[in-house]
Amino acid sequence: MDLSDSPKEAEFRARARRWLEANAPRGLKDRGFALAIDERTVRILTDWQRRLYDAGFLGINWPKEYGGQGLTLIESAIFNEEMARVRAPAPLNELGLSMGAPTILEHGTEAQKKRFIPKILSCEEIWCQGFSEPGSGSDLAALATRAVIDGDHFIINGQKVWTSLGHLADWCMLLVRTDPDAPKHRGISYILVDMHSPGVKVAPLRQMTGEAEFNQMFFDDVRVPRENLLGPLNGGWGVALTTLMNERATLSLATVMRFRNVFEDLAELARRAIASGGCPVSPAVARQTLAQFYVDVESMKYLAYRNFSRLVRGGTPGPEGSISKLLWSELNQRMNEFALTLAGPRAALGEGSPHAIDDGRWQYGLLRSRGNTIEEGTSEVQRSIIAERLLGLPKGY
Ligand SMILES: Cc1cc2nc3c(=O)[nH]c(=O)nc-3n(C[C@H](O)[C@H](O)[C@H](O)COP(=O)(O)OP(=O)(O)OC[C@H]3O[C@@H](n4cnc5c(N)ncnc54)[C@H](O)[C@@H]3O)c2cc1C
């Protein structure tokens, strides 16, 4: 596939670049792959999403009748690349945009698409993903939250955990068990739940960074209209796979450019450490380590291109996303670890200390990156997907 811009795409790229350079918010701290939680950042990113939407740069390849721009996946990818180039932050409703909307577009009724997609785009309604439970993370199909039909409603009882942005969300992509007697993958339904419904309780969980991006959620006799069922009753597993494949795939394209930026910052940090005369590793070791990171980022780029050309030819995100997920999450940990090696004794100093390197960015990055190999499916689970579904190896036990 020819990945160079056509004249029309080059014109779109130039327009996007001009707009982003003039409008991207400045002065936000680099939080890597963390989600916004403090009040100021939430405000800035809400405003940022609305401006992206008003300027016609959100839902670029989604149908116009639901608020999208009706352009192609290629223009969408160009815009993501340009966003990363100017280091613009992701809009606030990241989960709604990357997972909720693509799932509704694929499985929703006409009424659901018209009801939900425009408000995801305009940031009027923030979304969270209620999949994991205390007893079902990797083995997601073991989930126990129950929904029972009562006339025109489902009545939901149960508990979810690790729900990112649950405390800000207006809506939740919720997986529930609707047939406890069916084999576990066949008794699940996917329901869109209004987080303001009576009986929904959200309690924050603190991470090792000190922040609380995610939450526990409790559902106590929560009534949800039956029209909020997404896809078939008891057929929610197939719908959930769409969400999971989008979760792992959408990250990969824009992520490559973000890793290039991190690579450049890391090379600059190494230069500073060597010039200071106090670098804890020799220049040769620094060069070798950086060269390996460069190779890793380049391989990510070609993987992203391969996945992307498959999508452009009409495919849907598939298990290939597991390779990218594994690569970026483990690379992020290694890059942050190396930054702290370069920092020497100052690695112990975090944000706010006058002697911290880059105001504690790398220290925060290392702590936050531990979660990267757990969220969206752990590295062990990704390796099993690659082994079984891509390499065709026998199923493990
Ligand atoms: C920062 C962060 C944000 C998150 N956000 C959300 C969210 O918004 N919504 C949501 O629903 N969930 C979210 N999660 C939850 C995440 O999806 C789960 O933590 C993840 O799927 C792992 O499940 P678990 O924590 O129950 O661990 P477990 O499944 O109990 O796994 C424990 C360990 O056993 C290993 N293991 C388990 N099964 C196997 C197997 N078959 N083969 C080999 N090894 C195995 C795992 O790799 C892991 O090392 C988030 C998690 C994090 C860290």
Residues tagged active-site: 247
Residues 330-351 have a mean pLDDT of 95
Atom of ligand 1 nearest to the CA of 133: 26
Measured between alpha carbons, how far is 316 from 318 in angstroms, rounded to an integer?
6
- Cβ(378) – ligand 1 distance below 6 Å: yes
Which tens digits make up the pLDDT trace of 127-179? Answer: 999 999 999 999 999 999 999 999 999 999 999 999 999 999 999 999 999 99
* Nearest alpha-carbon partner for 229 in 147, 295, 314, 161: 147
Which tens digits make up the pLDDT trace of 280-312? Answer: 999 999 999 999 999 999 999 888 888 888 888
Helices (H) and strands (E) in the chain, counts: 11, 8
- Cβ(214) – ligand 1 distance below 6 Å: yes
Which tens digits make up the pLDDT trace of 165-197? Answer: 999 999 999 999 999 999 999 999 999 999 999
- CA distances to 106, 204, 235, 339 from 187, rounded to whole Å, are 21, 29, 7, 47
Contact 201, 159 (CB under 8 A): no
Pairing of strands 146-150, 153-161: antiparallel
Contact 334, 342 (CB under 8 A): no
Contact 200, 166 (CB under 8 A): no
Task: Provide the β-strand partners of residue 160.
Answer: 217
Atom of ligand 1 nearest to the CA of 132: 11
Q: Which amino acid is at 270?
A: A
- Whole-prediction pTM value? 0.94
Residue 65, number of CB atoms within 10 A of its CB = 12
Which tens digits make up the pLDDT trace of 245-258? Answer: 887 765 567 788 88
Atom of ligand 1 nearest to the CA of 134: 26
The tokens for 42 are 């939430």
Measured between alpha carbons, how far is 1 from 164 in angstroms, rounded to an integer?
37
pLDDT at residue 24, rounded to an integer:
95
- Cβ(377) – ligand 1 distance below 6 Å: yes
Measured between alpha carbons, how far is 81 from 13 in angstroms, rounded to an integer?
9
Residues 4-20 have a mean pLDDT of 96
pLDDT at residue 366, rounded to an integer:
95
Pairing of strands 171-177, 127-130: parallel
**Three-class secondary structure assignment of 285-329:** HHHHHHHHHHHHHHHHHHHHHHHHHHHHCCCCCCCCHHHHHHHHH
How many alpha carbons fall within 13 Å on the CB side of residue 269?
30
Residue nearest to atom 3 of ligand 1 (CA): 375
State the burial class of residue 4 (Cβ atoms within 10 Å of its Cβ: 0-12, 13-18, 19+). Answer: exposed
Structural domains of the chain sorted by starting position, each given as residue range(s) with its CATH number in brackets: 7-121 (1.10.540.10), 127-234 (2.40.110.10), 238-390 (1.20.140.10)
pLDDT at residue 397, rounded to an integer:
57
